[in-house]
Structure 1
Amino acid sequence: MFPVKRFTDFIAQNNLFTPQNKVLAAVSGGMDSVLMVHLLKAAGFNFAIAHCNFQLRGPESAADEAFCQKLAQQMEVGFHVVKFDTQQYAAENKVSIQMAARNLRYRWFEQIAQQHGYTAIALAHHQNDTIETILLNLTRGTGIAGLHGILPQNGMLVRPLLFLNRDEIQAVISENNIAYVEDSSNASTKYARNKIRHEVIPHLKALNPNLEATFENNLQHFRELEQLLELTVANMRQQIMIVKGDEVHIAVRGIQALKPQSLLLYKLLQPYGFNETTIGDILSSLDKHAGRVFESEGYKLVLDRAQYILSPKKKNTLQALLINEADHTIHYGAYRLTLLHDDSALIIKNNPMAVAIDAALLIYPLTVRAWQTSDYFYPLGMKTRKKLSDFFINQKIALHEKAEIPILVNGNGDIIWIGGYRPDDRYKVTNNTKKVTIFELFKL
């Protein structure tokens, strides 16, 4: 007997789709996906079959495709198929074969769904897949979200077989004499998931024969705890994160009052791209002086006395500018740079915003630009070179200020002057200097 009622009850309880919806069923030809389409057919749902041929197993891949096409014909449903050069995609994108296959199939499923009006993409994951996913997440490191396993629904992706375990699927397949194809790669322990499936889970089942049921109960608890955490974080966000324009202000005392501190602060700042390592650094700075800056890919968090200010990073729109010998004034970002040519060997002291350079060493056109990670120079008074990144650290220049500093570059690529901070020793005025060019910065 097909577990049709359990199937339809699970779909209804989780609001996966209705008989009125068009469902795209992802079918590999294995027993899980084959049983899924038999259940969809028995329950009277409107569906079509989609099959991906990753061309990784030669004749086996071709046989799988032919099997799925025949299955669609037997069930009198639509059939979509695609062939991927998975190995080439993996090489070009520098990802594993498994990740390449995952990216390719999900992207294609979404395209087919949009083109043909499918409202759900049905995947044949079951309870044992969830157990394997959780164990993988725990092995690699995970937060609470990694413990909820595979969800019944994630956007258009639905998993209507999560009420069954592998043994139950095998029993239904055997009792009803349903044909399917076996992927030979499933027996290999080369992949981490297969290693867990074949070498770890059998030992766990020896300890607990009802492993799937136990995990299902645990999953329910984990999902409820995750929901509780999200509600707590939402309330905390309203209490301690004050929105002011495009900034968010967070009182230091509000962070100090969080319990558990690290977990809640991570969840509060996670939407802004901050990772757990940075959260630790932020917590270590709570009693430090103002000016500390922490960055994610798109945001910066600045300690400003009794509060942190969170704001989007401003894209560096400063374009490099060329300077010709005849130029007198250049505007760069928030600065005006002036040039003055003098026939004396003048040395400028005690003014970091101006510098005199040996004019004979200049190769025009010069360039003024933002710093780059590979930049280095020879600081005045030193005979060894220093990376600009290290120089900025020594000068205690905040991260968000670095991109605004004008870097004066000679025509041969040498850095002449870190505007407002230090000239390069190679371009200083000496006893042999006949003429100088004076560069001076004015903050606008």
Structure 2
Amino acid sequence: MLPLQQFRDFIEQEQLFWQGNRILLAVSGGKDSVLMLHLFKAIGVDVGVAHCNFNLRGGEAQRDESFVALLAKKLGLPFYVTHFDTKKYAAEHKISTQMAARDLRYQWFEEIRVKQQYDYIALAQHQNDAVETVLINLTRGTGISGLHGILPKRDRLIRPLLFLNRQQIDELVSTNNMEFVEDSSNASTHYTRNKIRLQVVPHLQEINPNLEKTFAENISRFAELETFLNAEVQKLGGKILNQRSDGIYISLAEIARLNPQKLLLYELLKPFGFSESLIQEILDNLKALTGTHFFSATHQAIINRDDLVIVKKNKMVAANQFIHPTDKSIVFANHEIFLTFTEEIKFATGLNKAFVNADKLIFPLTFRNWQNGDKFIPLGMRSLKKVSDYFIDEKVPLHLKATTPILVNGNGEIIWIVGMRQDNRYKLTTATKKVAIFELKIK
């Protein structure tokens, strides 16, 4: 007999899916996925069967594909299959074969789910898989999320066999005379997971014969702990992460008060790609000079006086952009500047517009980043001032210095520090006949 009531109870308890949902089953042909397929068929859920051939085991892989195709046909279920050049993908992406297979199958499962309008993807992982995953994560180093290992549900992935262990699955397959295929690579200790399964877990089971049950209970506790931590971090982020147009500001004083400091700062900055080692480096340099940088793959953190500022890397230095009198707008990094002309001699106050004497313009004009040695005459003044000194006087954060567009005339003179200050040489006078209006909009 199949444990149908336990299966239904687990689905309901974990809220894996709802009545009327369509489920795409990942079926390799092994015991686990074959049992999962029969359980779903027995409770009358609308399912389809998906099989990946990774072309790693020659004729054995083709045997598995044929077996799953025939099984789906016998049960009257839709069958989807794909073939991967897994070794080529692994080499191109410089990852292990196992990781390549994982990436390829998840990408393809999601494509089929969307295309064929399934609600969820079911994977046949069980309690022993969860134990192995936690042990692998602990061996390699992990945070709290790694301690809960495999969750019953994450986004569109569900794992409805996590109420069973490997021995129970073996017994169910045997007593119900289910046909299956055996993956010979499961006996190889070449793979990390197999080493854990074949060489480590048996010794742990000698210490604790109920190892799978104990780990299942611990995993549940760790998952609840992660949920609690995420909720607390979200509340904390709402208090100390100050979102501004130019980046996210965190008071250094607030960082110093965090307790536990490293854990909370890591969780706050994890979405921006900062590793634990980078977090430690930031904490070691909270009293560093303004301008100290820390880089993740996608962002940078900058010490700016009393704050740590997080900005995207793509908001940094941009290529020069040229503007001609016929241009209506120009895009520079995350800024868009519009140009209009008028013969009505008037101007309005505000930092996002510059009203320039058009008769003095030498086209093409240039939008570029600030450069060392730049000088201009601030509006209302008579002598040249270094742009760097102006930035210091105005307390402009370092990352804004790097991203603020500078409008330069054809003769090399600065016309406008965009969004901040116009040059006095290009102001409107009683002799002005035509006005060029530059207006800034941040995208």
Same fold, TM exceeding 0.5? Answer: yes
Distance 1:92 1:291, change over 3 A: closer
Contact 2:321–2:368 (CA under 8 A) maintained in structure 1: no
Q: Within 1, Cα distance between the matches of 2:267 and 2:171?
A: 43
Contact 1:22–1:47 (CA under 8 A) maintained in structure 2: yes
Distance 1:172 1:399, change over 3 A: same
Match of 2:334 in 1: none
Q: Within 1, Cα distance between the matches of 2:89 and 2:36?
A: 29
Match of 1:198 in 2: 198
Task: Indicate whether 1:100 and 2:139 are aligned.
Answer: no
Q: Within 2, Cα distance between the matches of 1:336 and 1:202?
A: 65
What's the CA shift string for 1:140-168, capped at 9, x where partnerless? 11111111111111221111101111011
Match of 1:17 in 2: 17
Distance 1:335 1:181, change over 3 A: closer
Q: Which moved more, 1:299-308 or 1:54-63?
A: 299-308
Task: Indicate whether 1:318 and 2:353 are aligned.
Answer: no
Q: Within 2, Cα distance between the matches of 1:250 and 1:399?
A: 14
What's the CA shift string for 1:21-50, capped at 9, x where partnerless? 111111000000000001001111111111
Match of 1:188 in 2: 188
Structure-to-structure mapping, 1:36-47, within 5 angstroms: 36-47=36-47
Contact 2:242–2:248 (CA under 8 A) maintained in structure 1: yes
Q: Within 2, Cα distance between the matches of 1:254 and 1:223?
A: 28
Task: Indicate whether 1:214 and 2:214 are aligned.
Answer: yes
Match of 1:407 in 2: none
**Secondary structure, counterpart of 1:47 in structure 2:** strand
Report the alpha carbon displacement of residue 291 of structure 1 after superposing the two structures with TM: 2.7
Contact 1:241–1:249 (CA under 8 A) maintained in structure 2: yes
Match of 1:426 in 2: none
Q: Within 1, Cα distance between the matches of 2:189 and 2:3?
A: 31
> What amino acid is aligned across from residue 264 of structure 2 in structure 1?
L
Distance 1:286 1:315, change over 3 A: closer
Match of 1:152 in 2: 152
**Secondary structure, counterpart of 2:29 in structure 1:** coil
Q: Within 2, Cα distance between the matches of 1:18 and 1:337?
A: 62
Match of 1:435 in 2: none
Task: Indicate whether 1:333 and 2:334 are aligned.
Answer: no
Report the alpha carbon displacement of residue 261 of structure 1 after superposing the two structures with TM: 0.4
Question: Aligned residues, how many?
Answer: 351
Distance 1:50 1:332, change over 3 A: same
Q: Which moved more, 1:281-290 or 1:60-69?
A: 281-290
Report the alpha carbon displacement of residue 320 of structure 1 after superposing the two structures with TM: 10
Q: Within 2, Cα distance between the matches of 1:161 and 1:37?
A: 11
Structure-to-structure mapping, 1:18-417, within 5 angstroms: 18-313=18-313, 314-319=315-320, 331=366, 333-334=368-369
Contact 2:318–2:369 (CA under 8 A) maintained in structure 1: no
Contact 2:273–2:297 (CA under 8 A) maintained in structure 1: yes
Match of 1:371 in 2: none
Distance 1:111 1:227, change over 3 A: same
> What amino acid is aligned across from residue 141 of structure 1 in structure 2?
G
Q: Within 2, Cα distance between the matches of 1:290 and 1:305?
A: 5
Contact 1:35–1:169 (CA under 8 A) maintained in structure 2: yes
**Secondary structure, counterpart of 1:118 in structure 2:** coil
Q: Within 2, Cα distance between the matches of 1:400 and 1:132?
A: 48
Q: Within 1, Cα distance between the matches of 2:239 and 2:399?
A: 29
Report the alpha carbon displacement of residue 402 of structure 1 after superposing the two structures with TM: 8.0
**Secondary structure, counterpart of 2:206 in structure 1:** helix
> What amino acid is aligned across from residue 198 of structure 2 in structure 1?
H
What's the CA shift string for 1:327-353, capped at 9, x where partnerless? x99957246999xxxxxxxxxxxxx99
Q: Within 2, Cα distance between the matches of 1:99 and 1:250?
A: 36
**Secondary structure, counterpart of 1:286 in structure 2:** coil
Contact 1:337–1:440 (CA under 8 A) maintained in structure 2: no
Q: Runs in 1 of length 4+ with deviation above 4 angstroms?
A: 328-332, 335-338, 398-404, 439-444
Report the alpha carbon displacement of residue 91 of structure 1 after superposing the two structures with TM: 2.6
Q: Which moved more, 1:80-89 or 1:4-13?
A: 80-89
Report the alpha carbon displacement of residue 214 of structure 1 after superposing the two structures with TM: 0.5
Q: Within 1, Cα distance between the matches of 2:38 and 2:232?
A: 43
**Secondary structure, counterpart of 1:255 in structure 2:** helix
Q: Within 2, Cα distance between the matches of 1:108 and 1:329?
A: 50
Q: Within 1, Cα distance between the matches of 2:144 and 2:168?
A: 29
Q: Within 2, Cα distance between the matches of 1:329 and 1:31?
A: 71
Q: Within 1, Cα distance between the matches of 2:184 and 2:372?
A: 69
Match of 2:358 in 1: none
Report the alpha carbon displacement of residue 209 of structure 1 after superposing the two structures with TM: 0.3
Contact 1:301–1:308 (CA under 8 A) maintained in structure 2: yes
Distance 1:68 1:320, change over 3 A: same
Contact 2:316–2:399 (CA under 8 A) maintained in structure 1: no
Report the alpha carbon displacement of residue 306 of structure 1 after superposing the two structures with TM: 2.3
> What amino acid is aligned across from residue 368 of structure 2 in structure 1?
G
**Secondary structure, counterpart of 1:300 in structure 2:** strand
Unaligned stretches of 5+ residues in structure 1:
322-327, 339-351, 354-397, 405-438
Q: Within 1, Cα distance between the matches of 2:232 and 2:18?
A: 33
Report the alpha carbon displacement of residue 18 of structure 1 after superposing the two structures with TM: 2.7
What's the CA shift string for 1:295-321, capped at 9, x where partnerless? 323333222222222233315321599
Contact 1:19–1:46 (CA under 8 A) maintained in structure 2: no
Q: Which moved more, 1:84-93 or 1:109-118?
A: 84-93
Match of 1:391 in 2: none
Contact 1:145–1:226 (CA under 8 A) maintained in structure 2: yes
**Secondary structure, counterpart of 2:52 in structure 1:** strand
What's the CA shift string for 1:62-96, capped at 9, x where partnerless? 11111101111221111111122222222333322
Distance 1:246 1:5, change over 3 A: farther
Distance 1:93 1:300, change over 3 A: closer
Contact 2:24–2:113 (CA under 8 A) maintained in structure 1: yes
Q: Within 2, Cα distance between the matches of 1:40 and 1:203?
A: 34
Match of 2:380 in 1: none
What's the CA shift string for 1:95-115, capped at 9, x where partnerless? 222122112211111111111
Q: Within 2, Cα distance between the matches of 1:244 and 1:331?
A: 27
Contact 1:32–1:124 (CA under 8 A) maintained in structure 2: yes
Match of 1:433 in 2: none
Match of 2:390 in 1: none
Contact 1:329–1:337 (CA under 8 A) maintained in structure 2: no
Q: Within 2, Cα distance between the matches of 1:71 and 1:196?
A: 31
Report the alpha carbon displacement of residue 191 of structure 1 after superposing the two structures with TM: 0.4
